[in-house]
């Protein structure tokens, strides 16, 4: 009997070492998983950015403002997709690292099924309550018709957007990062081709941009479906696609941090829009200029955040698998490298935001001198602490990957809810519209500091666990 158990143990160990997540050099693994994840996130952000550029050039400032008003819908979709995608992928990696392959596949099946269900439900809600939602999001009478057209059409792409965003996390967890990147890239390229064709060629205006986005999302979603039908490595039967409460609870637990962070972003965006509308009316800029500028700047910032989140997502399989396997040194090494990468990217983007604000805004169309003046000031003040902004989302992803769901949620809430939301409500009372700008760097710095403190504590705990394991082996 003892011999049989030893053989089973040996077999499990052999399977473990076969997985490159357990043995391959950390730097090489990060490059292998993070680069496709970064490209996928960049491509995802390009949907909004490309629309913004062509809408700004073809429709003008009111069109840019409309996409900003519609942005909370996109954030809510992303929140749902990340909760289910990251939650199921993180559980899949942890269970795979522990050798529970059947359970890992059932969790993945639950995640996939819920992505489809939630996408259909959210699309239906947006279409049924379009006008009340736009009012809540801070729309002005001048922007309303543009926002109705854009949001009403893009709602049809929501099920495919959620399936693509969430499904790609599972594809990466299934050790196919390149295919994940291909899914996103194909849809984005199609969107980029169709945008000018529909806006300028067919003279569809903002409706053309919306339909181009939907078509790109449909194609990306179809490629995700194709992967799980034909190319997957994981075991996945029809029965596994039936959502189970016990697995859904586990998915929600580890995915909640990313979801709450996105929901918080939506809440901040809505509050920001309404604050800008209120205090902008009392300023030299009026109501529409701040809404349009902030919409453009948030899209530019998406590029930076896409890279940082991509780094985190690329590291998640490495963190999750090795933590589940008790290989804590590899977990610590991966976090250290991810930290340095996030900081380096942040410094580069911070310099760009400080040195070239007018040029960056100019990409998205023309405007009055007041428009560019506000945009330059907003870039230089609100984005002052950009160099530290990648640390908080990266760390939140780290905590989620190692099963520290509550800590991941707390860290994900720091910037948006705990710091930024109160500040954008309080500062404008005393400083007018400038208060919104100065709230940004204070919230950014405080959130980064909180993330570092929490990460250092967890890394120290791993050293203790590692020392205890070494004593037992000795």
The CA distance from 79 to 57, in Å, is 30
The length of the chain in residues reads: 474
The CA distance from 8 to 52, in Å, is 57
Q: What is the pLDDT of residue 474?
A: 61
Which residue from 121, 144, 119 is spatially nearest to 133, judged by alpha carbons? 144
The CA distance from 177 to 232, in Å, is 12
Given a contact cutoff of 8 angstroms between Cβ atoms, the answer to whether 361 and 57 are in contact is: no
Residue recorded with tokens 């790109």 = 216
Tokens at residue 256, please? Answer: 């909640």
Given a contact cutoff of 8 angstroms between Cβ atoms, the answer to whether 423 and 367 are in contact is: no
The CA distance from 53 to 222, in Å, is 26
Which residue from 454, 461, 471, 358 is spatially nearest to 413, judged by alpha carbons? 454
Burial (CB count within 10 angstroms: exposed 0-12, middle 13-18, buried 19+), residue 17: exposed
Residue recorded with tokens 């979801």 = 259
- For the chain, the structural domain boundaries read 24-473
Given a contact cutoff of 8 angstroms between Cβ atoms, the answer to whether 19 and 93 are in contact is: no
The CA distance from 301 to 68, in Å, is 13
- Residue 402 has φ and ψ, to the nearest 5°, of -95, 10
Element (H, E) at 25: none
Q: What is the pLDDT of residue 8?
A: 40
The CA distance from 415 to 389, in Å, is 9
pLDDT in tens, the chain (474 residues): 444 334 444 444 444 446 788 888 888 888 888 888 787 777 767 766 777 788 878 887 777 778 778 878 988 898 899 899 989 988 888 888 777 888 888 988 899 999 999 999 999 999 999 999 999 888 888 889 999 999 999 999 999 999 999 999 899 888 888 898 888 889 888 988 998 999 888 988 889 989 999 999 999 999 999 999 888 888 777 776 788 888 888 898 888 877 877 787 778 878 888 888 888 888 888 877 888 788 778 878 888 888 888 898 889 889 988 888 888 999 999 999 999 999 999 999 999 999 998 888 888 777 778 888 888 998 899 999 999 999 998 998 899 888 887 888 888 888 888 999 999 999 999 998 889 899 999 999 999 999 999 999 999 999 888 888 777 776
Residue recorded with tokens 């169709």 = 194
The CA distance from 206 to 234, in Å, is 41
Given a contact cutoff of 8 angstroms between Cβ atoms, the answer to whether 195 and 47 are in contact is: no
Q: Which residues contact 58 (CB under 8 A, 6 or more apart)?
A: 199, 200, 205, 209
The CA distance from 91 to 401, in Å, is 8
Q: What is the pLDDT of residue 161?
A: 94
Given a contact cutoff of 8 angstroms between Cβ atoms, the answer to whether 325 and 99 are in contact is: no
Question: Mind giving me the DSSP string for 323-383?
Answer: HHTT-HHHHHHHHHHHHHHHHHHHHHHHHHHHH-HHHHHHTT----HHHHHHHHHHHHHHT
The CA distance from 311 to 319, in Å, is 12
Predicted TM-score (pTM) of the model is 0.70
Which residue from 343, 333, 320 is spatially nearest to 392, judged by alpha carbons? 343
């Amino acid at each position: 009997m003892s011999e049989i158990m030893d053989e089973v143990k040996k077999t499990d160990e052999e399977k473990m070492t076969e997985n490159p997540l357990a043995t391959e050099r950390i730097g090489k693994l990060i490059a292998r998983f993070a680069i496709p994840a970064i490209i996928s996130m960049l491509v995802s952000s390009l949907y909004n950015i490309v629309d913004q550029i062509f809408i700004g050039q073809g429709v003008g400032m009111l069109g840019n403002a409309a996409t900003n008003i519609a942005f909370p819908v996109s954030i809510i979709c992303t929140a749902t997709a990340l909760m289910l995608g990251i939650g199921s992928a993180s559980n899949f990696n942890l269970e795979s690292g522990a050798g529970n392959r059947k359970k890992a596949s059932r969790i993945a099946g639950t995640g996939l099924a819920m992505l489809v269900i939630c996408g259909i439900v959210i699309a239906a809600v947006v279409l049924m309550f379009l006008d009340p939602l736009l009012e809540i999001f801070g729309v002005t009478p001048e922007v309303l018709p543009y926002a109705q057209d854009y949001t009403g059409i893009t709602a049809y792409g929501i099920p495919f957007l959620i399936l693509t965003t969430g499904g790609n996390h599972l594809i990466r967890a299934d050790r196919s990062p390149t295919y994940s990147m291909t899914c996103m890239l194909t849809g984005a390229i199609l969107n980029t081709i169709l945008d000018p064709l529909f806006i300028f060629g067919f003279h569809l205006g903002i409706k053309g941009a919306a339909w181009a986005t939907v078509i790109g999302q449909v194609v990306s979603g179809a490629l995700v479906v194709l992967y799980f039908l034909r190319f997957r490595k994981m075991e996945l039967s029809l029965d596994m696609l039936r959502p189970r409460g016990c697995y859904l609870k586990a998915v929600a637990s580890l995915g909640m941090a990313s979801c709450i962070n996105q929901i918080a972003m939506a809440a901040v965006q809505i509050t920001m829009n309404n604050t800008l509308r209120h205090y902008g009316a009392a300023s030299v800029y009026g109501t529409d200029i701040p809404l349009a500028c902030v919409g453009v700047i948030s899209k530019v910032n998406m590029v930076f955040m896409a890279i940082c989140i991509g780094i985190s997502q690329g590291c998640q399989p490495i963190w999750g698998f090795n933590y589940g396997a008790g290989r804590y040194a590899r977990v610590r090494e991966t976090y250290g490298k991810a930290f340095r990468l996030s900081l380096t990217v942040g410094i580069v983007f911070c310099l760009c935001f400080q040195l070239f604000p007018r040029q960056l805004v100019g990409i998205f169309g023309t405007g009055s001198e007041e428009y560019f003046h506000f945009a330059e000031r907003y870039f230089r003040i609100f984005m002052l602490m950009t160099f530290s902004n990648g640390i908080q989302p990266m760390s939140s992803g780290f905590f989620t990957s190692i099963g520290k769901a509550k800590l991941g949620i707390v860290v994900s809430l720091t910037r948006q809810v705990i710091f930024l939301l109160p500040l954008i409500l309080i500062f404008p009372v005393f400083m007018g519209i400038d208060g919104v700008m100065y709230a940004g760097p204070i919230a950014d710095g405080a959130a980064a500091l909180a993330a570092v403190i929490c990460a250092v504590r967890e890394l120290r705990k791993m050293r203790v666990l590692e020392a205890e394991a070494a004593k037992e082996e000795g």
